[in-house]
Structure 1
């Protein structure tokens, strides 16, 4: 049965869009009926909304189902587990890093874990040209060094030629692993590869170029990606996902956008209680089509993005996700009522100072104060700083003060990631 499923999932990207839409809708209806019958949390939620699963006949009907927030997910506890799967000890558990101080946990059956954690991930990597066992892989993760050493000793990882390094180790230690292991593929966060890029440039180190890099967990801005690819000497493919869902969308070699795994997720882009049009920005709301233990229905990712339909030259007919510009909670609310996407402020730094900045972070302190922390290199000058002030004035207007702080390093958050943009203003 599992073999048939593997074949099914590997064929799906190349099916016609109409066929995929029918498959997706069948799975969605099955999930809604299953959740209503098996999950007390959803039965109560549907009843309070005055809706039955059989009444969801079109995408617009989905608005009758309330959006599920992270706070509601945390408060639900084990009530959101389906009957027959309500013993967490028998399920696979995945917990968010809790960068907000409030981590959440998701649970999966072994079958669903295999599909979401391994099968879909391998499918996208394979389309990008990755062959397991043939290609050697290094994963850069946030585990302690001791855990990484234990992981590397496992027979299975030696057989499939996979190694791990900890983000807590020094870059010099990573380079030792890279020289000895000679990986074909690297997988980590954008900020890690940006840090590696800066280290190589600063120390003029000859780099053993891998075949490809995969990034996830942070926004991969165009200029950052361009510099990583230039210095590390290989293509960089980005992945959009989360702990709750795993890999939702991914880039292929044509990089026309992120292919949405529509055979595993029903993704909505919404604004003012309606589905937005193509290339119109909206909040990203996701329903998992593959999680019997803990169905997530209309879960608000806290992100914003755009979509378009249409395949690419690879023959893949999954729709595209575009311009995931940041967490909606990190949008900057200004004193004059405007709401600024941080993406525009990031682009301004790239335009004015990309060649002179090793790392930076943009923080909203109040409705009229933006702080830009910069780790400069030798090319950073007062003129560049002045030009950056002018550019921010054009974007933000005269009522918002921008303060540039020169620092030695940018601190990571509790999840060991660099948050490029954030807001401390509530």
Structure 2
């Protein structure tokens, strides 16, 4: 694809003008942020009959705070998998927050992400096929289960014709989609891009599969304190669901329409470990991802004032990310406030990077680092300045990064600054 004019390029500044979400702790971006600051947990016991019927070893998760089919019109909910429902709700929230801008459809793009896609649709259709035969399989099964269904729904909602792309890179997916949006805006492919990610796989099969990998916490009697990044007693992540969207646009376009600007998106990077399908490479490319993202932003490690970490609450993953950050920041890491927000939201998989980027933007905009709940016994092997209650960030220009890493060795980092 060729940019529309030779003048378009990396000199274009990109800003965040809208934020939207539906998460385990909030029906909107604003409520999710407010509940995060209040120290809420979205983890709850599952009340579905299949939990007991199937004897699942993990009986809790972080479900969306409100059911998406209570927010959407009946007919549109019926035509979308749960993940795409969540995506559309988040995108509408972000678009309203951005002031519902008027934009040429040919200059509006979508960069979206998911880690798995329409798993509920796929598995329900398989059950229908086995139990009732092929003629009873719903005709919209394929359009609903395909991983790009959420991007397609958003594209059609807003008549975005500058491209609707989908990234599927496990838990790094939506951070990668944000990086793609940055590139597309810099290169002049669009004036506005709706970027983000979604996931809805709190289904018995993914729960059983993640549990078999020893990836999930098994604190069935204490779901609210199960996700505990950097705690010595952490035993796995809490499966979460939700979606988050950022309206990104060129600063020139945003200024011309008088938009409110939350922050600038100034850099991003994607790398891969080429090491193992699920385990992080202890000497891998995670440090390089952070370094490349900062270089892309024209910044250095010494400039960073805040980090929203990936920190899933797994014994192996948390320490691997810590070691990577120590390589990049050295002793300066001791003075950087760290927020591990999966403690509140659970792990949204393909939507994780987007909700955490949203929290990073809010941290810069409101100059407050959000808390990490459930950290009662800090792991002595991970000496970090973890924020455990809302903490004011200093005056002046601020830089923050948001880290995401996924199965397959996918790494993505986004860099934001104050305006």
Is the pair's TM-score, using the shorter chain for normalization, greater than 0.5? no
Larger strand proportion of the pair: 1
Larger radius of gyration: 1
Of structures 1 and 2, the one with the larger relative CO (CA 8 A, separation 6+) is 2
